[in-house]
Amino acid sequence: MHGIRWAEHHLATPCGLEAVEAREITVSRTFADFDDFWTATRTTPGVVSIITDMSSGDIERLQAGLRQRLSSDADGRIAYTARANAVKGHLPSGCAMLAGPPDRAGTVLSHHVLPVGHSKSAH
């Protein structure tokens, strides 16, 4: 189970959200070169939490692995694409919150981001 179906099942089913709407959001970003990519990426909360306790040698190995894995064009630009599966629904009364408080209309929003080319299998 992948994409929207995974998001609907794992984010909406546990609490039986009502009036569920789901959509996939795809975003792309282009970086001038690897240094531009690394400068932007290393300051994101997810990456900061990972590299904070890493030695400088481990960070250099991480950078080297990323350089090999990321494709660049003839000018050295790196294009990165990611997908977010957005699920929106109304929370039935008596059900615990899924992801923060509902808005004024009683709608709870939640998300799960998967880089393109990666998938999450249902357990």
Strand ranges for 1-123 from DSSP E: 18-31, 78-90, 107-115
Q: Which residue has the tokens 């408080």?
A: 101
- Cβ atoms of 11 and 98 within 8 Å: the answer is yes
Which two structure tokens, joined as six digits, stand for 30? Answer: 């282009």
pLDDT digits (tens, 9 = 90+) for 56-115: 999 999 999 999 998 899 999 999 888 887 777 777 666 655 454 445 544 444 443 333
Q: Enumerate residues 6+ apart whose C-beta is below 8 A from 28.
A: 79, 80, 81
The pTM for the full model equals 0.54
Phi, psi of 9 (to 5 degrees): -65, -45
Q: Which helix (H) or strand (E) holds 33?
A: none
